[in-house]
Amino acid sequence: MLNIVLFGPPGAGKGTQSQHIVEKFKLIHLSTGDLLRSEIAAGTPLGQEAKLLMDDGKLVPDEVVIGMIDNKLKANKDAKGFIFDGFPRTTEQAKALDDLLKSNDDSISGMIALEVPDEELISRLLERGKDSGRADDQNEEVIKNRLKVYNDQTAVLKDYYSKQGKFQEINGLGTIEEVFGRIENAIEKA
Ligand code: B4P
């Protein structure tokens, strides 16, 4: 199976690029952000709890997102592979993902990190916030908090995958097509 972790700070282009990757490589797209927003839209207790954290730019508890991914992996046993978008975001999530895949004799093929400077991330997210309806994209303080959370808790995963020989970093600046071209090259090497 081809299992790719698409990595990067908020606004780096993970969601955008995942759509192109799914089309080309026929993988199943698993975005914990999208799964949480579906829970919020459905008004479930999980969604109500997650909304409070997401609106502040904080992470949802590990066990919640790990449980959601576990369910999706079990529901898609015949998949050609997965693109993990916005997951894992902590070392605990990365270890859990390795264990879940291992129980199916599977593993992560590679992690691709999109690198984009903070000023560009802030401007992209504020732009999306104008019409996305996402509270976490509308306030610069919340966006800065998301970047802080990324630097404090998530960026460390570059080392985690580097130690496994699975880490590739690419430039996330340029047109969506240019960035996708770089991702295609990286996937071929994964
Ligand atoms: P996510 O939904 O993962 O959202 P995100 O980090 O903002 O990235 P996204 O994928 O949406 O942005 P993209 O780069 O595609 O997370 C939201 C929240 O959910 C988190 O803060 C957290 O609270 C919670 N959560 C999610 N997963 C979790 C987990 N595993 N553990 C705990 N909590 C979790 O796009 C951004 C914008 O840039 C778009 O408008 C796009 O059009 C634009 N863009 C993309 N590529 C571009 C390019 N090349 N040039 C110019 N603009 C571009």
56: left (phi over 0), alpha (psi -120 to 50) or beta: alpha
CB half-sphere exposure, 140, CA atoms < 13 A: 5
From ligand 1's centre to the CA of 120, what distance in Å? 13
Nearest to 42 by CA among 50, 30, 54, 53: 50
Our answer to whether residue 14 is catalytic in this structure is yes
Structure confidence by residue, pLDDT tens digits, 118-143 = 999 999 999 999 998 899 999 999 99
Read off the pTM.
0.95
Q: Ligand 1 in contact with 36 (CB < 6 A)?
A: yes
How far apart CA 90 and CA 33 sit, in angstroms, is 14
> Do 156 and 92 contact (CB within 8 A), yes or no?
no
E strands, 32-190, where? Answer: 81-85, 110-115, 167-171
pLDDT tens figures, 60-94: 999 999 999 999 999 999 999 999 999 999 999 99
| Catalytic residue flag (residue 58) | no
